[in-house]
Amino acid sequence: MSEPTRDPRMQALIDGLLPGAVRRVRITGFDGEDVLVRVLDAEGEEGETARIPGHEASMRPTERPAELFAVGQEIEAEEIARWGEDQLFLSARACENPALRSFLRALAPGDVVTGTVAGVHDFGVFVHLDGEPDGLRTGFIRVPDLTWDRFGHPSEVIEPGRRVTAEVIVAETRSGQVALSLKALREGPLARFEDQAGRTLTGPVVKIVPQGSRREQRQPHRPRRPAPGGTELPPPAG
């Protein structure tokens, strides 16, 4: 069976979630919920300015990053991107738990992992992955990635405590989660037709679904009305 081709839009999203380079920075101040920093070089000298958005400051809930950091403090932060006028944006939360970061960095898209289902919800399934740091549940399976079969609620196809084997979609250091897919390890319903391109296939009709009809809607004809002096005017609107 040939390797499935990933949707380019999905691949671009995954690429944007992959871990970036880690920089050593010194906190210089605060701008609302954001943390302002200077990037340090190998000798500890300050370089370019950068910004840590408030939601990237910590995995701990807080409305004021000043409660977590102090001016002059040195921390590690992961590069996110350059936005605006080429300003560097960083994530401190991605480096907050070294053990978690090390675990996530060891995983790559396409890796096969095992774990135990920790919780089943209408929006997805949480999984305790083997080898993850204690006290965490890093695996998450979105509803569309559970199975090729139709179902109403995830609890119809999986339950807490079940051992699962899944494929890694992406391990995201900024969220501390590993996006997983059970479906990726199972043959899809169209897999047996992969080598049938260009061939004529036959089979019985099993269902006819009415699709309705389309017709062109035309405005009723309205004759032009004569104007004084014999000139025709366009018909009145409405």
pLDDT tens-digit profile of 74-97?
999 999 988 877 899 999 999 999
Residues 153 and 131 reside in one and the same domain: yes
Structure tokens at 107: 């995983």
Residues 34 and 80 reside in one and the same domain: yes
- Residue at 140 is within a domain: yes
- Tens of pLDDT, residues 12-64: 555 555 668 899 999 999 999 999 999 999 888 999 999 999 999 999 888 88
The CA distances from residue 221 to 25, 131, 226, 234, 235, in Å, are 75, 76, 16, 12, 10
Structure tokens at 122: 């209408």
Q: What is the pTM of this model?
A: 0.71
Number of Cβ within a 10 Å radius of residue 77: 28
User: CB-side exposure of 2: number of CA atoms within 13 Å?
Assistant: 9
Of residues 156 and 5, the one with the higher pLDDT is 156
- Residue at 75 is within a domain: yes
Residues 17 and 77 reside in one and the same domain: yes
* Average pLDDT of the residues in 133-162: 94
Q: How many residues does the chain have?
A: 238
Q: Is 156 helix (H, G, I), strand (E, B) or coil?
A: helix
User: CB-side exposure of 47: number of CA atoms within 13 Å?
Assistant: 11
- Contact, 109 vs 126, CB < 8 A? no
- Residue at 202 is within a domain: no
pLDDT band at 146 (very low <50, low <70, confident <90, very high): very high
Residues 83 and 105 reside in one and the same domain: no
| pLDDT above 50: residue 1 | no
Nearest to 92 by CA among 61, 53, 64, 38: 53
- Residue at 208 is within a domain: no
- Residue at 68 is within a domain: yes
Residues 181 and 126 reside in one and the same domain: yes
Q: Which of 36, 62, 93 is the last residue of a domain?
A: 93
CA distance 49 to 54: 16
Tally of domains in the chain? 2
CA distance 185 to 165: 8
Q: By residue range, what is the domain housing residue 15? A: 8-93
- Residue at 66 is within a domain: yes
Residues 83 and 124 reside in one and the same domain: no
Q: Which of 68, 93, 118 is the last residue of a domain?
A: 93
Q: Which residue has the tokens 């920075």?
A: 25
User: How confident is the model at residue 2, as a pLDDT?
Assistant: 43
Phi, psi of 154, rounded to the nearest 5 degrees? -55, -30
Structure tokens at 232: 């025709």
CA distance 94 to 57: 9
Domain containing residue 34: CATH number: 2.40.50.140
Phi, psi of 126, rounded to the nearest 5 degrees? -95, 145
